[in-house]
Amino acid sequence: MATTLTVLHPKGGVGRSTTVYMLGAELALRGHRVALIDRDQGRHLTRVFDFYPPGLDDLVLGEDPSAIIRIVDTAPEVNGDRAIGYLQEANWALVPVKGPEAGSVLALPLLLDWLEQARGARLLGFLPTMYKSRRGDSRQWLDELERLAATTGTRVFSPIGDLASLATFRLEAHPYAALAAAVEEVLVAAPV
């Protein structure tokens, strides 16, 4: 049985699909067989995957019986019942937080409420994306995110910078290795 990691956040454009693609690629490069599941009706991940095929034998789009990890991409979700449905099918939830900035952080209590109601997925952590270290309020919202993580009993992963190479889905020198190592530890070394 594959472990399912669902990537979600109530807002759009926070870096979900990029995270699914890059994390999947990094885990596949480490020798794990990974299935990327596109649950966004907009099918943006599918289009990107077809246009920029990662070219890794162990990274497939769609269900795959030999995958040990399923990474699920979702649409921006404001419907609680649907979000809870996703979470009930997941072992782990990973939450990309763009910025961090006000809009991405302030939506998190809603997501935490869904997680509690779902009583299924465990929260792997918050992943700051498109981080601009020189922007003053990014630092402030990162601190806020750390506080929220501490009260929730989860972690904040090292921020993924705001990088043009990620927007063009280039795998060289992408910054997802640290996240992959953490995911590998939890998902592979100690599957649910």
Tokens representing 66 are: 């030999």
Residue 14 in contact with ligand ATP, rule: CB under 6 A: yes
Q: Hey, how many other C-beta atoms are within 10 angstroms of the C-beta on 51?
A: 8
The window from 120-128, 146-154, 163-171, 176-184 that contacts ligand ATP (CB under 6 A) reads 163-171
Count of alpha carbons within 13 Å of 17, Cβ hemisphere only? 21
Kindly tell me which residue out of 3, 4, 6, 17 binds ligand ATP, with binding defined by CB under 6 A.
Answer: 17
- Of 56, 67, 72, give the one whose Cα is nearest residue 17: 72
Residue 76 in contact with ligand ATP, rule: CB under 6 A: yes
Q: What angle do CA 154, 147, 184 make, to 5 degrees?
A: 25
Q: CB of residue 191 vs ligand ATP: minimum separation in angstroms?
A: 26
- Name which of residues 33 to 52 contact ligand ATP (CB under 6 A): 40, 44
Interface with ligand ATP by CB under 6 A: which residues? 12-18, 40, 44, 76, 129-130, 160, 162-163, 166-167
